[in-house]
Structure 1
Amino acid sequence: MAMSKTIDSPESRFTAVLVGAARLPGVRIDRDAYLRKALGRYCSEDEIRRAIEESPAAAGISLEVLDKAANDSIGYETAKASALSAAAGIPGLLLLPATMPADVAQYFGHMLRIVQKLAYLYSWPDLFAGDADDLDDATKGMLTLFIGVMFGTQSANTAVGKIAGMMSKQAARKLPQKALTQGVVYPLVKKVAGYLGVQMTKQTFAKTVSKAIPVVGAVVSGGLTLATYLPMAKRLKKHLASLELTKPTLRAESGGATDVTDVPEPVTAELVD
């Protein structure tokens, strides 16, 4: 019974969807290629090279330029997510069991795409370093917090801010494994994952109802995705742009730190919607 409750918990349901979405083709963004393309319209070759080798902050790229590039990516991903959601709504009620799981996975897959793009623009390290299919616990935790920010949870905002502060102090080029898996931020990761699992269930139900009528369901579903995805992406952009990591004066140290020491101050694992 205890095992069943663990498997069926909101936290575990969200984590399962997160991992599944991360495995979908086209979800993982090549950081170097993306930065070169996104900044190509606005920056010099030297700035782009340094942004790739270190970070956009280390290259001295202004927030104004980063915001323009971020808006370009948000517009592209929003249009694509809405179109795919609308397409999944066309079959109607008879094919709902087949289309809904795919639609949910695609939706979160597009969340992961914009999470990566915005993170890289605002000087976070590569979130999917290596070719392994499985996500390590630190990466799952960081992605959970980013999506939590998109959903407007204050706990996720606080946790992402703390991680950014740790990394900026040591000019780290990797996620702080300890803080995300057993340290000061870990309780917040678990709380945010549980909250997202509940919200995911609510959104899935809403989309199921909207898809019950063919064609009409496609319009409603695509519109629902547009109405939710766009403001969530903008919310993440605003939060990332406000963090210490984005400051142009920050310079990555030669070789970079491989990890970040936990900050000893306590963190209250209280979730605020």
Structure 2
Amino acid sequence: MSTSKDMENPDTRFSALLGSAARLPGVRIDRASYLRRALARHCSEAEVRRAIELSPAAAGIPLAVLDRVADESITYETAKASALSAAAGMPGVLALPATVPADLAQYTGHVLRIAQKLAYLYSWPDLFAEDADLDDATRSVLTLFVGVMFGTQSANAAVGKVATMMSREVARKLPQRALTQGVVYPVVKKVAGYLGVEMTKQTFAKSVSKAIPVVGAVVSGGLTLATFRPMAKRLKRHLSGLDLAKPAPGVVIGEVVAVHDSPVTRRGRGL
């Protein structure tokens, strides 16, 4: 009985959706493979290698280049999500019980895909441990990323706070305590509750859009196109504006000049 009541809570509903989407095939992005593939046409091999080993910021890759690559990834994920949403709208009203939950899950999956890609471009660490379940810290930071995509100001502030913690400590992993029981966690719960309500509204909107075969496909695909791109652009703008994304001072590919003798530059010597 308590489990049923828990699932009625918006934050629990969103957390369950996030977990289900994260388990879908192809949702988890391999950081090293993605950075190599995405940066190869824009950067030297030395820059790509340092971006993978440290971060794009530590590799000194200009924000203009990262923004261009981010736009390419947003275009790709938007097209893919819209096409799949349109395909799910083809069967019509008789298939609604099956197509709407599946469409919502795949939509959330693409939201998580672009969130990971943008995070890795703007120097966030690996979000998923290999072959591991979604841990609490990753669940929290992904919740905040989605919150930013939905325009939640509290999520913007929390993501900035987490990024500052990581930048200050030159961290190569998420701050577990802050995201699971510290100062950021109450914001995560609040954002998850808001997203649970918003996702319920989206489910209803998609149900209406899919009621008529063929027409439903066009409307559903168009609805995804109209919402996905602006959301991804919103996250891109926020992540690119954080100190974590800014190129490290004094970086020269092949060596490191410690202009400010920062922890990042000290660690980079000899690489």
TM-score (norm 2): 0.91
Distance 1:45 1:89, change over 3 A: same
Q: Which amino acid aligns with 2:117?
A: K
The equivalences for 1:151-170 within 5 A come to 151-170=150-169
| 1:203 CA displacement | 0.5
Structure 1 counterpart of 2:184:
185
- Please say if residues 32 and 52 of structure 2, whose CA atoms lie closer than 8 Å, have aligned partners that are also in contact: yes
Separation (CA, whole Å) in 2 of partners of 1:103 and 1:142: 23
Deviations 1:111-132 (A, max 9, x none): 0000000000000000012211
**Any idea what SS the aligned residue of 2:151 has?**
coil
Separation (CA, whole Å) in 2 of partners of 1:45 and 1:227: 36
Structure 2 counterpart of 1:119:
119
Distance 1:212 1:120, change over 3 A: same
- Please say if residues 86 and 220 of structure 2, whose CA atoms lie closer than 8 Å, have aligned partners that are also in contact: yes
The equivalences for 1:143-222 within 5 A come to 143-222=142-221
Structure 1 counterpart of 2:51:
51
The equivalences for 1:98-137 within 5 A come to 98-132=98-132, 134-137=133-136
Separation (CA, whole Å) in 2 of partners of 1:33 and 1:210: 37
Separation (CA, whole Å) in 1 of partners of 2:61 and 2:136: 31
- Please say if residues 144 and 193 of structure 1, whose CA atoms lie closer than 8 Å, have aligned partners that are also in contact: yes
| 1:252 CA displacement | 6.9
| 1:8 CA displacement | 1.2
The equivalences for 1:7-22 within 5 A come to 7-22=7-22
**Any idea what SS the aligned residue of 1:208 has?**
helix
**Any idea what SS the aligned residue of 1:135 has?**
coil
Q: Which amino acid aligns with 2:14?
A: F
| 1:3 CA displacement | 4.7
Deviations 1:81-138 (A, max 9, x none): 0000000000000001011111000000000000000000000000012211x21111
* Structure 2 residue runs without a partner (length 5+): 250-263
Structure 1's consecutive aligned runs of 4 or more residues displaced over 3 angstroms after TM superposition are: 1-4, 252-255
Q: Which amino acid aligns with 1:53?
A: E
Structure 2 counterpart of 1:247:
246
Separation (CA, whole Å) in 2 of partners of 1:3 and 1:26: 29
**Any idea what SS the aligned residue of 2:186 has?**
helix
TM-score (norm 1): 0.91
Separation (CA, whole Å) in 2 of partners of 1:213 and 1:147: 30
Q: Which amino acid aligns with 2:74?
A: I
| 1:221 CA displacement | 0.2
Structure 2 counterpart of 1:83:
83
Separation (CA, whole Å) in 2 of partners of 1:3 and 1:173: 36
Separation (CA, whole Å) in 1 of partners of 2:19 and 2:265: 30
Separation (CA, whole Å) in 2 of partners of 1:254 and 1:34: 24
Structure 1 counterpart of 2:257:
none
Q: Which amino acid aligns with 1:43?
A: C
Distance 1:252 1:212, change over 3 A: farther
Distance 1:162 1:204, change over 3 A: same
Distance 1:253 1:30, change over 3 A: farther
Separation (CA, whole Å) in 2 of partners of 1:243 and 1:85: 32
**Any idea what SS the aligned residue of 1:78 has?**
helix
Separation (CA, whole Å) in 1 of partners of 2:149 and 2:205: 18
Separation (CA, whole Å) in 1 of partners of 2:2 and 2:125: 38
Aligned length: 254
Deviations 1:56-84 (A, max 9, x none): 00000000000000000000000000000
Structure 2 counterpart of 1:141:
140
- Please say if residues 248 and 265 of structure 2, whose CA atoms lie closer than 8 Å, have aligned partners that are also in contact: no
**Any idea what SS the aligned residue of 1:67 has?**
helix
* Structure 1 residue runs without a partner (length 5+): 256-273
Separation (CA, whole Å) in 2 of partners of 1:232 and 1:7: 26
RMSD over equivalenced CA pairs, Å = 1.3
Separation (CA, whole Å) in 2 of partners of 1:125 and 1:205: 35
Separation (CA, whole Å) in 2 of partners of 1:209 and 1:174: 42
Check if 1:225 corresponds to 2:221: no
